[in-house]
Structure formats: C-alpha cells, structure tokens
Structure 1
Amino acid sequence: MVNLTSRFQEIISAYNTVVGGIDREAAGNHDRAYGGIVRAGKGQLTESIAKELVYLAWATLDQDSREIDVKRYKYKIPIRMNYVETIRDERLRNHISAHIDDYVYESNIDWTVMIRGEPKMCIECKTYTENAMLKRVLVDASLLKQRFPDMDFVLLQLESQLGGDYCQIGDSVLGSCSTHTLLSHFDIDLDIITLLKGDRRVDKPIHKKEFFKPLTEESLRHATQRLAMKLSRYRRS
C-alpha cells in the first residue's frame, strides 16, 4: 500500500517551494509580464498536484498502476446535423454540408483520466474559480457529455472565489447560491474540490509571503478520498 503521508509531504514541499519562489522569479524577470509568470507558476503547480492525486487515489484502491493514465487530450466535438438542417440560407447550408468534416470544436481539458485505455474522467484545474469561469467549465463538460455520457467531471481548484463555503475543506460543504443556480441549468454532476482553506482575496495573493496559505495533509487526503470515490466504480475486485 502506498505511503500517503510521505507522498503528501512531497507535494506540500513542492508547493512551498513553488509558491514561495514565484514572486522572486516574477520580480527578477524583465522579459515576461509579472502577472503572466505568477499565473503560469500557480497553474502548472495546480495541474501537477491534480495529476499526482489521481495516481494516489487509484493506488488507495489497490489497483494496477499500469491500468491508469492521466494525459492531455483534445476532443473534437462535431457540428450537430439538426443545426445544419435548420439553416435557412441554402447556400450556407450546402457549403457546411459539403465540408462537414471541417466543422468541429476542439475542447481542451486539462487532464483526462484514462482507465484501461478508455477516457473516464475529465479534470479541470484552476488556481481559483469564480462563477464566470465556472460557466465555461460547464459548457465544455456538457459538450463532452454528449460524446461520453458516463464521463465523470471534476473541478480541482487551489483557491475558491465561488462564494458560500466552497473555501472550506471537508464533506459538509453546502456551496453557494449562485453556483448551485448555475449548476442547476446544466446536466453535469461536477465535483468541486478545493485545496486551500479560505476565500481567494485579490488583494492578498498567496505568492506574497505575508498572505501565504499552507497546503495541508488534511486537504490532500480529503481530495484523494474524493477522487478515489469517483474512481472506485472502475475497480477490479
């Protein structure tokens, strides 16, 4: 069985190093905009943590590590024919029909979890999420669900700006009124996982020493358990 405590400490150590060094790197780099370096550093960190937690979650289920992979994948969503058929402009309708293979939308999801070679879970990683950003996540998930009806969807965020108690760690989170209202308009069961406790404050960025937020073993363990629950339906006995 994997030693979770040891692996969690490695993740926490990496988090401390990366977040603690972002401000120094950004301030000392004159070739890139400060904000761009900060966003890139936090974004890559969040994606790396998410990927590692998926592998740990699978390991807690005592499953073969060779049967899971976490990878980047571009999904091509085809145009819907019933839309084409309703186009009144005959010239446009005929043009689209003649080039139908060109009419696709590429959906880029941060991570796709492959189980035994099949896509089973999509994970969107955010350094923080507000409801305007959540709408985009839900639209992409809805498009993918048309192609993969049984796909699981997870939003893993470093900090929360969704309101309510999404910034808390635990199973008793009630969420926020605005977020649940948005979710009610999409047929998507989105699992929202937050890693850092406390609402995101624009004027208190965590890469600044005085506003640093610790990443805890409790938070990582909770996130791993949530992911393991999602993955458990693919477990071999």
Structure 2
Amino acid sequence: MNKNFKKWVSIIFIALFFALIVFTILMNVTATNSNNKAKNQLKIQQEKLDSNKNNYQDKFNDEFNQYKNNLYKSKDAKLSSITLNNENYSKAKDSLDKFLSSYFTYKNQKTFNERKDYLLSNDLITKSFANSDKFDSPKDSTGNSYIDASGLTSTYKGNSIYSNFITNGKGSISVYALVTFDSQYRDSWVSTATNLYKIDYNMENMKINGINKISTIENKGTATRSN
C-alpha cells in the first residue's frame, strides 16, 4: 500500500513538474508573441506618424509655394515688391558678405592685389568689374605703391545691406550697403569709417558688377602711439 502510494505520489509530482515546464514555455512563447505584436503595432503607428508628418510637410510646402506665387502675381504692387525684395536679399547676401569682407581687407600692396584674384576665382565678381579702376593700385608722388609707402592697411568689420530695386531674378539689383572698416597707417593711427556704398549685383550670375561710394556716414580716428 505504502509502496503504491509513494509510486503514485512520484508520478503525480513528475507530471506536475513537466506540466509546470510546459506552462512556463507556453507563457514565454505567449509573452514573446505579445511583445512582437506590440513592436509591430508600434512600428506601424510610427510609420503612420512619419507618413502623416511627410504628408503635412508636403501639404505645407505646396500651400506655401502657392501662397508665394500668388504674392508674385498679385496686382498689389506693395505685396509683390516685398516678396521679391526678400527673396533677392536672401540670395544676394551671402555673396555680398564674402565680397565686402575681401574687398575691404588688405595689409600691404601684395594682399591688395590678391583681392581681385580671390574674388574672380570664387565667382564673386564679373571680369568687367575686375578690370575696372576700382582695383587700380594707388600711387604716391614718386609713382611707387602708396600702400607700402604709407604702411596703409584695411580691416573689414561688418556691413548692413539693403536691397533697392525689384527684379524678376534675371536682371541686376542695386543694393545699398553700410560698410564699416578700419584703416591704419603704420602703427600710429587707426581710422574707423562707416561708408554708404551702392553695389551693382547681378541676380542671374550672382556676381557683383560694381561698387561706388555714396557718402561717409561716420569716421573716427584714434592714435595708437605718440610720435
């Protein structure tokens, strides 16, 4: 009796043990499937969000372009002018910044001459402008370099640019620029000037075709050492 009882207890215990193992395996499989299902659902939701985001972005771009085109075609001259001016300004500003920084920076005759080559090689100015008297070297009374003789240097400090005329993006736009730079003779005197310039900028080839000084807005001199 006792032997049969122990035998059945052992059988039941082993059966329960295997049942527990099977149950654990089934639970793990179920959990894995649930996790995979949850991951797939999250992936699908993320894809939908990305798709909606792209659709909204495309819709926004389409509406913005339509709005911009409507402004261009507007019979209201003020709306049309403001829109075109903003676009012309943004296109021109990078080229104008690079041009002005180079044009108003030199430390001797050699670097003064190198400005033209730099501006030409970087497609910032036209050949006709490069060959104009704006790049001529100043001479002293003996015919030698005034820059080297006087120790003249120029250091660009900054600008404020204002577009003037309206174009369709294929012609020239006249730009007013307030340019600030330092001029120094040897080590004895520094002059900080802010001048107003009118710049001829070609919207089609994105190059500067000329610059002319309009007036001096401010000029301050500072002695750096006593002679």
TM beyond 0.5: no
Give the structure with the higher percent helix. Answer: 2
Q: For this structure pair, what is the TM-score category when the shorter chain's length is used for normalisation?
A: under 0.3
Task: Tell me: higher relative CO, structure 1 or 2? Use CA pairs within 8 A at least 6 residues apart.
Answer: 1
TM-score by length of 2: 0.25
